Amino acid sequence: MNEQFEILMIDDEIELQNLMVTYLSKEGYHVHTSTNAEKGIAYLQHTKSNVALVLLDIMLEDMNGFDACKTIRTFSHVPIIMLTARASEDDRIKGLKFGADDYVVKPFSPRELMARIEATLRRTGIFSHSKTTGYTVGNLHIDEEGRRILMNNETLNVTRKEFDLFLFLFKHKGQVFSREQLHDQIWGFDSEMGTLRTVDTHIKTLRLKLADQNHYIKTVWGVGYKFEE
């Protein structure tokens, strides 16, 4: 694992923090910890370090994790994995609706959390083997590092998932994906957020935002979608 990846862990369980710092450090990550949501958010917002992912406890003394997640989403698309002892379906769905990328129920093994972290980083494109961070097709430029789509040098107002969906299709040009496959790739196998209709909705909004460049996203009737030049 590359040591440039930093994990921010916001959790008030000191023993758990120490365990995960030890484990993640052995895997090559740098870990910054905070027992306080406001301080953790401030660190994320103002530090110049390269935070790749946030581990966020729901039960914090100064602010609940749902509110912390909503606050982070006002200024950052950093992947968030929520940690909690509350295992209800409503809590999982609530966390995902507020912008979390995954949800892990305590107690968990370090190996399980490590697998979730790596799956989330792969899904959000941070584990990219390509050194190229920008791609151009037609009047569009895909800024992979900045997570932006530009059309005629103007940044399109796409959501995090719209960007992930467009980039995934672009990187697999000509390959047809079913809605099930796209949902698993972009939202995750264990995601409680959305249905297959979610894929259709994101395709529709992407096409609207791409305007006269939307012809790259093709519908293959009865199968799914693909990117085609």
Instruction: Give the number of domains in the chain.
Output: 2
On whether residue 205 sits in a domain, the answer given is yes
Q: Residues 143, 85: one domain?
A: no
Task: Give the end of a domain, one of 93, 123, 153.
Answer: 123
Residue 194: helix, strand or coil by DSSP?
coil
CATH of the domain at 22: 3.40.50.2300
Does residue 23 carry a pLDDT above 50? yes
**At which residue do the structure tokens 């484990």 appear?**
23
Query: What is the predicted pLDDT for the residue at 143?
Result: 84
Which tens digit of pLDDT belongs to each residue from 46-101? 875 578 899 999 888 888 888 999 999 888 888 999 998 766 666 667 667 778 88
In a domain, 147, yes or no: yes
Contact 167, 157 (CB under 8 A): no
Report the amino acid identity of residue 212: D
Provide the pLDDT for residue 95.
Answer: 66
Rounded Cα distance between 53 and 8, Å, is 6
Residue 189, domain CATH: 1.10.10.10
Asked whether the beta carbons of 176 and 226 are under 8 A apart, the reply is yes
Domain boundary among 67, 96, 123: 123
Q: Are residues 117 and 140 in the same domain?
A: no
Burial of 143 (0-12, 13-18, 19+ CB in 10 A): middle
81/154 same-domain check: no
Average pLDDT in the 91-120 region? 81
Same domain, 144 and 109: no
Percent of the chain with pLDDT over 70: 85
Among 72, 102, 123, the domain-final residue is 123
Residue at 129 is within a domain:
no
Q: Are residues 92 and 25 in the same domain?
A: yes
103 shares its domain with 140 = no
Q: Are residues 146 and 221 in the same domain?
A: yes
Q: What are the phi and psi torsion angles at 203 (to 5°)?
A: -60, -45
On whether both 138 and 207 belong to a single domain, the answer is yes
At 106 the pLDDT is 85
SS3 100: coil
Going along the chain, which residue ranges are E strands?
6-10, 30-34, 51-57, 80-84, 102-105, 134-137, 140-143, 148-151, 154-155, 217-220, 224-227
**Hey, how many other C-beta atoms are within 10 angstroms of the C-beta on 153?**
7
Domain that holds residue 24: 6-123
Domain identity same for 65 and 119: yes
